[in-house]
Amino acid sequence: MSFTLPPIPYEHPDASGQHTYLEALRVALRHELESRENLYLLGEDIAQYGGAFKLTEGMLDAFGPERIIDTPIAEGGIIGTAIGSALMGMRPVVEMQFMDFISCGFNQLTNFAAKCHYRWGASVPIVVRGPGGGLVGGGPFHSQSMEVYFAKTAGLKVVMPSSVKDAYALLRAAIADPDPVIFIEHKALYRAPQLRDTLPVGDEFASLAQLGKSRVVRTGKDLVIITYGAMVHRALEAAELVQEQGIDVQILDLRTLSPLDAAGIAESVQTCSKVLLLHEDTKDHGFAGEICSIINEKAFEWLDAPVKRLTAPNTPVPYHSQLESVFAPSVDAIKQAVIELAHY
């Protein structure tokens, strides 16, 4: 399969045809709006204003007010409306202005959308997407890692792309999926210039557009860092630093947390024998604990060291940038953890 990308006002690749993470998401939404007459977007300030991060800028003019819908500040009502219309044959994509606010729609997602298929076989093809994570000085109410709240809920899928190509391919895969999907976009990646890349087409698109499939983004043999979201890029930077000391690090990007690629995790453990679990979320009851259990069940005999976790401390996300820089795992902290593990 292949996709053409005709230029329109709200697509802004650079001269080489490369896109930012945010632009990749915008183009993915545009393609789905063009190809699916039953698809529409709804959320706070997404139409007239173009979204808090300007991700939907220009879409109101392109597709009209019946498909790009501004809503009241009522996340439970927004998600409930999306669920109802999905049951009637529509394919809504809901934007949370910040993923922190999804908690106001928690009941709609966990007690209704997630259980419709189990209860009576009904498909609820909604995507709830928006900016998550910190690293930009947003404070405790605009920087939370919300993924674990939903990853444990049977019937919900949770996606967290870390690259331009994955942002584009996984959002289109999420929209095509018959089940409700929570799609978390790390706000620190939206306009990061170093992430600019071309969009995948053909076989590359087909390979990347798979929910539940992890990807090795850096090969190595001495130990593996298993991570997701913005921490993928900090892990890549740390891996280059320790390479100078002769430590060869593999990095596994989970891409989706539910469904989770247990086979891919086990394969990386077999290859490397030492594991560092890395995420921006807090440690207690965090997702690293689930991955550790999978490793114990499926790849314990391959381990040459205890599984190590590197996460944020068990506090709210601080507002001050200096405090936040200590709160989230830094490149230096990752480097030190890798060195300790390698020398175990």
Contacts with 210 (C-beta within 8 Å, 6 or more apart), sequence order: 173
- 221: which DSSP letter? S
Instruction: Indicate which residue of 31, 142, 186, 279 is catalytic.
Output: 142
> For residue 68, what is the enclosing H or E element?
strand 68-70
Burial of 313 (0-12, 13-18, 19+ CB in 10 A): exposed
Cβ atoms 23, 11 nearer than 8 A: yes
Task: Supply the Cα-derived Rg of the chain in whole angstroms.
Answer: 20
3-state helix, strand, coil in the chain (%, to 5): 40, 15, 40
Distance CA 97, CA 174 (A): 19
Any catalytic annotation for residue 233? no
Q: Please identify every residue annotated as catalytic.
A: 142
